[in-house]
Amino acid sequence: MSNTSKEKAQLKKKKERLLNSLNRDNFYEIDEGDSDDEIEEVAMADFERRQMKQAMKESRRIFEEGGQEHQQGGSSSQPSNARIKRGLTRSFSVREGASIPPKGIDPYMFPSKQKSIKSLFSTEGVKKVGKAISKFFLFNAIPFNAADSGPYYQSMIDTIAEAGPGIKGPTGYQIGNTYLEEEVQELEVYITTLKAKWPIYGCTIMCDGWSSRTRKPIINFMIYCDRSMIYHSSVDTTNIPKTTDYIFSFMDKVVEEVGEENVIQVVTDNEASFKAAGMLLMEKRKHLFWSLCAAHCIELMVEDIGSMKQIKETLDQAKMITGFIYNSLKVVNLMKVFTKDRDLLRPGITCFATEFISLESLITL
């Protein structure tokens, strides 16, 4: 028992001597003559445990101080990180040859700000894409508003980006033959799906008479069903009088092709011949309804309002003002300075609507 007490006393003295040497920052120079590994492990484990607690305490204190400075309005996010790193580095005592991780204890403790998705795309890259597409538009005289209309513009760009660089575009022959045939097949499938809805929801036949750019009179027949409209056929009425019987024959033919049981109503213009043809159609096919086109009725109302004396004088004065402005380039440039580069003349659906839209622009701008 006496030998055991002596060994414990000697172990305690050696431990105290080792701790004293560590406190004097001489813990790198351990007595080479002491070969007791158990003493060294116990002493170093105890020392490192105390140093770890001290480092964590120092880190928590600096972090709390940094948070208080940030709440007071100071920009202290970067200095706080630097102070934490210095505190951790100073608090850790490591053996010779070891190194402290550059980001402290946990690399995820202070993560850097994650880049947004928008910043992943280079501004320079977006500019290059825009310039390349613009060159294609300008060289081929494609209208600029083609980039703002239709659902296929952005999908085309996304598909090209997904395919990657170096991909070759289709040739003119491929577009006019291979891909055109595929589009026709897809449209046929789409029309077939719409026709399957006709017996379920019923459909409306829309008859629209208009003139082409070459002043050729044409009557279009379209079919509307379940919020979707498809083209059916057209009739060229050049040098043919639009009599009631002539229009009725075409309307009755379209109803027969679509199926009388599938048609609920027929919508036409407000012209006298179309009205009479609609009445004949209702007499022949009892369950059909004939209706006037509401848009055409509004157009005729606007035309009648514009023919009133006071309104006509106001519209004529507005035409004189806009004519004076747009006949001189200098005046147009001066006008755009005050209107913030906006035009006075904005085309409407019809010529009568355009006059009132231009009049509104003169008042508001």
Contact (Cβ atoms closer than 8 angstroms) between residue 224 and residue 204: yes
Q: Which residue ranges form the domains of the chain, and what is each CATH number?
A: 2-28+36-91 (no CATH), 200-292 (3.30.420.10), 310-364 (no CATH)
Query: What is the model's pLDDT at position 181?
Result: 92
Query: What is the model's pLDDT at position 63?
Result: 61
Query: What is the model's pLDDT at position 21?
Result: 61
CB atoms within 10 A of CB 120: 7
What is the distance between the alpha carbons of residues 209 and 220, in angstroms, rounded to a whole number? 6
Query: What is the model's pLDDT at position 102?
Result: 42
Tell the residue number behind the tokens 């055409």, with chain if given: 296
- Residues ≥6 apart with Cβ < 8 Å to 220: 207, 208, 209, 210, 231, 233, 234
What is the distance between the alpha carbons of residues 32 and 356, in angstroms, rounded to a whole number? 104
Query: What is the model's pLDDT at position 66?
Result: 55
- Following CA atoms 273, 279, 281, 284 in sequence, which dihedral angle do they give, to the nearest 10 degrees? -140
Distances (CA, A) of 326 to 6, 334, 338, 345, 364: 114, 11, 15, 9, 18
Residue 169 burial (CB < 10 Å; 0-12/13-18/19+)? exposed
* CA atoms within a 13 Å half-sphere pointing along the CA-CB vector of 315: 17
- The tokens for 356 are 């009132």
Residue 27 burial (CB < 10 Å; 0-12/13-18/19+)? middle
What is the distance between the alpha carbons of residues 61 and 69, in angstroms, rounded to a whole number? 13
From first to last of its 365 residues, what are the pLDDT tens digits of the chain?
556 677 667 777 776 776 666 555 444 444 444 445 445 555 555 666 676 677 677 766 666 665 444 444 444 444 444 443 444 444 444 444 444 444 444 333 333 444 454 555 577 778 888 898 999 999 998 888 888 877 788 888 888 888 888 888 888 899 999 999 999 998 899 888 888 988 899 899 888 877 777 778 888 888 998 888 888 888 888 887 778 888 888 888 888 888 888 888 888 887 888 888 888 888 888 888 888 777 777 777 877 787 888 888 888 888 888 888 888 888 888 888 877 777 776 655 556 667 777 777 777 76
Query: What is the model's pLDDT at position 111?
Result: 39
- Bridge partners for 203 per DSSP: 263
- Following CA atoms 278, 283, 288, 289 in sequence, which dihedral angle do they give, to the nearest 10 degrees? 50
What is the distance between the alpha carbons of residues 206 and 292, in angstroms, rounded to a whole number? 10
Query: What is the model's pLDDT at position 246?
Result: 85
Tell the residue number behind the tokens 């622009």, with chain if given: 361
Look at residue 228 and give its three-state secondary structure: strand
Q: Name the residue type at position 163.
A: A
Query: What is the model's pLDDT at position 180?
Result: 92
- The tokens for 184 are 């026709």
- Bridge partners for 112 per DSSP: none
Distances (CA, A) of 65 to 72, 81, 82, 91, 102: 11, 11, 13, 17, 22
Contact (Cβ atoms closer than 8 angstroms) between residue 18 and residue 12: no
